[in-house]
Each structure stands twice: as structure tokens, then as C-alpha cells.
Amino acid sequence: MKLSPYTIQSIAPIITGDSLGPYRRGSDLVKLFNKFGCRDIYDTLGLPSIGDDNDHRPSRTKYVENRLGNLSGKLDIRGLLNQVLAEADSPEDMAQKMTEFLTEDSFSVVNDAGKFVVEGGAVNNRKAVVNDAHFQNIQSQVLRELDSAKVTINVAMAWFTNEVIRDKLIEKLGQGVDVHIAIFDDGINKKHGVDLNSLPHTLVKGSRGGFMHNKFCVIDNQKVVTGSYNWSNNAETRNDENVTVLNDPDQATNYTLEFRRILK
């Protein structure tokens, strides 16, 4: 749950209790934040330093603003705000006031069976989807992606005449990676295709009476290499081609399912 600096500044007085009760002393605030991931100590000098230039002990409001900033983007901040709602002198007033500020960050407070809770977006712990397109030196990019494989490499390739890429697959197979190739069963591959006898492979026909024209590779069910580029010498040295590397587990799963369909 990510909060903007404006929202943090706005709800800090709510948490301290300066605008809506209960009022929280410095020690109360430390106990509250320690329930949700902080490791602060309230001592004889007051609240812990928040690391400003003068290393002064902060006010209650500045302490809350700093710790909210540290928790922003984490699941703990949702739990903390729900705790503040649960302890409110007037939960209805607290919910209305908090919603006024949270709305700007696409969150709100709702009444869930008599209990007020924060609702809205959730923390996304997944890696961001990254798509990289390549138009030059494609063989090098393919080799780089194959090198990254740890578990599986599934290849569906219309035409495969590139021995450099074939040798990389043999290398990965020797490292314990599960490699399987679905290759179009046609005259070009029979006459000019690489020798795949040392690799697990399946000759396939097009399912609709035409070519099996796919050109994709799924690595570890996490990324996909796909595009116009056949794993052929012409594609590498003569043609204008492209590949895109999809670092997207959801799409990788879709391609894996298609690979299994092709094998059937």
C-alpha cells in the first residue's frame, strides 16, 4: 500500500490523536509502529532520532510522518491504519476523515460487518513485466537467454538450421536443463536442418493443414523469446528479423500450454 507524501502529512495528526482521539503520547506511538515492523525505543530523551541533519529528537508528528514514509508500499501500513481505526474514539468520524485523504491514493475506508477497514490497491510483490525488442545481433541475444535457463527450455521452431544455437541447447542439456524441441516436419528441415539426434525433439505438422510456423522458446516458464526470427542461418545473416524477450510468467505459461498443444 503506497501513500503519497501529501497523504502521509495529512493523516499524521489523525494517528497522533491531535485531530481525532485518542491522543497518543510518544511512547504510545512507538508501541503502535513497533507492532507493524518498526524496531524503535522510547527512552528518557523521548522519541528516537529520524536521521535528520541535526540528529534532533523529533516531534510526535514528524516521527509519525517519517515512519509512515518508511512503511509506505508495504503491507504493514494497511494493518497499522486498520489498528488506528479500531482504536478510534469515534470510528465513523475517523473513517470519514481518513477516507478524505486516502481517496487521492485510490484507497478508502469501508464498513465490513461493523468493522472499519482500509480497502483498495494491494502491494504487488511480483517483478515488473519487462519486454525487450531486438532487431540486430539476434543470435547473441538468443544465446544469452538460453544461457540463463536453470530448469527447462521448450522450443517451437518452424525452421532450425543454426548450429551455434543447436550447440548451446546441447550444452544446456548437459547441465541438467530439460530441453525439448518441436520442429516443423518438412523438406527444408529434412535437407538443411541441424542434426537434433542428441536433443529431445518432436517432428510436428501444422494443425490446420498448413505450416507449423511458430518461432518461440519458453525458458523456465518465466520468459519467452519470440518473433519473426527462425533459428536459421538466413535469419541471422540475410533477413530483416526481430525477436522480443517477454519477462512475463503469465505469458510464459500461455506459451507453455501452446507448446504442449503442439506436441499433441
Give the integer Cα–Cα distance in Å for 74 and 131.
Answer: 26
Q: What is the mean pLDDT of the segment spanning 110-124?
A: 73
Helix (H, G, I), strand (E, B) or coil at 63: helix
Task: Tell which residue, 125, 121, 143, 124, has the closest CA to residue 134.
Answer: 143
**Rg value, the chain, Cα:** 29
Give the integer Cα–Cα distance in Å for 143 and 160.
Answer: 14
Q: Which amino acid is at 222?
A: Q
Binned at pLDDT 50, 70 and 90, residue 127 comes out as low
Q: What is the DSSP letter of 52?
A: -
pLDDT of residue 99: 87
Q: Is the pLDDT of residue 103 over 50?
A: yes
153-205: pLDDT as tens digits: 999 999 999 999 999 999 999 999 999 999 999 999 999 999 999 999 999 99
Q: Is the pLDDT of residue 121 over 70?
A: no
- Tell me the helices (H) and strands (E) count for the chain, helix number first: 10, 9
pLDDT of residue 124: 44
Sole residue written with cell 510468467: 249
Q: What is the DSSP letter of 46?
A: B
Q: Is the pLDDT of residue 122 over 60?
A: no
pTM comes to 0.54
Whole-number average pLDDT of the chain: 90
134-165: pLDDT as tens digits: 999 999 999 999 999 999 999 999 999 999 99
Could you tell me which residue, 205 or 124, shows the higher pLDDT? Answer: 205
Residue 65, C-beta contacts closer than 8 angstroms, at least 6 positions apart: 8, 9, 12
Task: Tell which residue, 225, 229, 250, has the closest CA to residue 238.
Answer: 229
47-91: pLDDT as tens digits: 998 876 566 889 999 999 999 999 988 878 889 999 999 999 998
Domains of the chain in sequence order: 5-120 (no CATH), 130-263 (3.30.870.10)
From the CB of residue 118, how many other CB atoms can be counted at a distance below 10 Å? 21
pLDDT of residue 207: 84
Residue 254, C-beta contacts closer than 8 angstroms, at least 6 positions apart: none
